[in-house]
Amino acid sequence: MRLINKNIQNVIVILFVGTLSLFGQSIKSDKNGRKIPNEKIFVHYNSTLLFAGEYLLYKVYNLNHKGLSNLSKIAYVELVGEDMEIVFKHKVRLENSAGQGDFFIPSTVKSGNYKLIAYTKWMRNGSENDFFQGEIAIINPYQSDQKNILKDSSNISTRSVALNPNKKKLSIPEVGNSSVKIHFEQDAFKRRAKVSLRIEDVSDLYTNGSYSISVRNMDTIKKPQPLSSETFKESWGEEHETSNTKIENLMYLPEYRGEYISGRIYSEDSTMSVESEKVAISIPEENGYVLKVVATDKNGMFSTNLEKEYSGTKMVVQVLGENRKKYKIALDGETALDYSDLVFNRFKITPKIKDMIVERSVHNQIENGYFSIKPDSIKPIHAIVPNYQGMLYTYNLDDYTRFSTVGETLVEVVELVWAKRIGQDEYTFQIKENDYDFYTSPDFPPLIIVDGILVQNHTHLLQYNARNVKSISFLRDKYIVGPKIFQGVLVVETIDKDYVSPYGGEHRTSMELFRPLPKKSYYYQEYGNETDLTSDRILDFRYQLYWDPNLTLSDSQNEVIFYTSDIPGEYEMVLEGFSSSGNPVSVKRRFMVE
Number of domains in the chain: 3
Distance (Å, whole) CA 50 – CA 52? 7
pTM: predicted TM-score of the whole model, two decimal places: 0.88
Query: Looking at per-residue confidence, does 161 or 462 come out higher?
Result: 462
Query: Looking at per-residue confidence, does 240 or 295 come out higher?
Result: 295
Distance (Å, whole) CA 410 – CA 395? 10
Domain assignment present for 514: no
Percentage of residues in the chain having pLDDT higher than 90: 66
Domain assignment present for 512: no
* Structure confidence at residue 247 as a pLDDT band (50, 70, 90): low
- Domain at 579, CATH number: 2.60.40.1930
Q: What pLDDT, on the 0 to 100 scale, is given for residue 251?
A: 83
Query: Looking at per-residue confidence, does 385 or 395 come out higher?
Result: 395
**441 & 538 share domain:** no
Q: What pLDDT, on the 0 to 100 scale, is given for residue 398?
A: 97
Query: Looking at per-residue confidence, does 93 or 145 come out higher?
Result: 93
Q: Phi/psi zone of residue 67: left (φ > 0), alpha (ψ -120 to 50 degrees), beta? A: left
pLDDT in tens, 56-79: 999 999 999 888 999 999 999 999
Q: Is the pLDDT of residue 356 over 60?
A: yes
Domain assignment present for 246: no
Q: What pLDDT, on the 0 to 100 scale, is given for residue 159?
A: 47
Q: What pLDDT, on the 0 to 100 scale, is given for residue 170?
A: 39
H-assigned helices in 414-483: 458-462
Q: What pLDDT, on the 0 to 100 scale, is given for residue 248?
A: 59
Query: Looking at per-residue confidence, does 160 or 549 come out higher?
Result: 549
**312 & 348 share domain:** no
* Structure confidence at residue 533 as a pLDDT band (50, 70, 90): low
Q: Which of 23-37, 284-298, 570-584 has the lowest mean pLDDT?
A: 23-37
Q: What pLDDT, on the 0 to 100 scale, is given for residue 175?
A: 60
Maximum Cα–Cα distance for the chain, whole Å? 97
Query: Looking at per-residue confidence, does 529 or 68 come out higher?
Result: 68
Domain assignment present for 252: no
Helices (H) and strands (E) in the chain, counts: 6, 37
Chain mean pLDDT for the chain: 86
* Structure confidence at residue 178 as a pLDDT band (50, 70, 90): low
Q: Is the pLDDT of residue 220 over 70?
A: yes
Q: What pLDDT, on the 0 to 100 scale, is given for residue 202?
A: 66
Residues 6+ apart with CB under 8 A from 14: none
Domain assignment present for 80: yes
Q: Which of 453, 471, 505 is the last residue of a domain?
A: 505
Domain assignment present for 365: yes
Q: What pLDDT, on the 0 to 100 scale, is given for residue 334?
A: 83
Interval 529-538 mean pLDDT: 62
Q: What pLDDT, on the 0 to 100 scale, is given for residue 530?
A: 57
Distance (Å, whole) CA 403 – CA 409? 6
**49 & 146 share domain:** yes
Residue 492 near residue 472 (C-beta atoms within 8 A): yes
DSSP tag of 122: G
Residue 361, classed as helix, strand or coil, is: helix
**480 & 456 share domain:** yes
Q: What pLDDT, on the 0 to 100 scale, is given for residue 56?
A: 98
* Structure confidence at residue 162 as a pLDDT band (50, 70, 90): very low
Q: Is the pLDDT of residue 562 over 50?
A: yes
Of the candidates 213, 210, 207, the one whose C-alpha atom is nearest the C-alpha of residue 555 is 207
Distance (Å, whole) CA 67 – CA 98? 12
Distance (Å, whole) CA 116 – CA 406? 53
**395 & 527 share domain:** no
Domain assignment present for 169: yes
**449 & 416 share domain:** yes
**98 & 195 share domain:** yes
* Structure confidence at residue 554 as a pLDDT band (50, 70, 90): confident
| Among 83-92, 156-165, 370-379, the range of highest mean pLDDT | 83-92
Q: Is the pLDDT of residue 34 over 90?
A: no
Interval 113-122 mean pLDDT: 97
pLDDT in tens, 436-474: 766 656 678 999 999 999 999 999 999 999 999 999 999
Residue 350 near residue 492 (C-beta atoms within 8 A): no
Q: What pLDDT, on the 0 to 100 scale, is given for residue 14?
A: 37
**299 & 364 share domain:** no
Of the candidates 550, 554, 561, the one whose C-alpha atom is nearest the C-alpha of residue 520 is 550
Of the candidates 508, 501, 412, the one whose C-alpha atom is nearest the C-alpha of residue 458 is 501
* Structure confidence at residue 267 as a pLDDT band (50, 70, 90): very high
Range(s) of the domain holding residue 293: 2-34+257-331
Distance (Å, whole) CA 32 – CA 23? 19
Residue 296 near residue 482 (C-beta atoms within 8 A): no
**14 & 43 share domain:** no
| Among 172-176, 349-353, 451-455, 552-556, the range of highest mean pLDDT | 451-455
Of the candidates 494, 440, 436, 500, the one whose C-alpha atom is nearest the C-alpha of residue 467 is 494
Radius of gyration for the alpha carbons in the chain, expressed in angstroms and rounded: 29
Domain assignment present for 123: yes
Distance (Å, whole) CA 396 – CA 35? 58
**156 & 235 share domain:** yes
Of the candidates 158, 164, 114, the one whose C-alpha atom is nearest the C-alpha of residue 137 is 114
- Domain at 437, CATH number: 2.170.130
**236 & 138 share domain:** yes
**216 & 300 share domain:** no
Q: What pLDDT, on the 0 to 100 scale, is given for residue 171?
A: 38
Q: What pLDDT, on the 0 to 100 scale, is given for residue 163?
A: 38
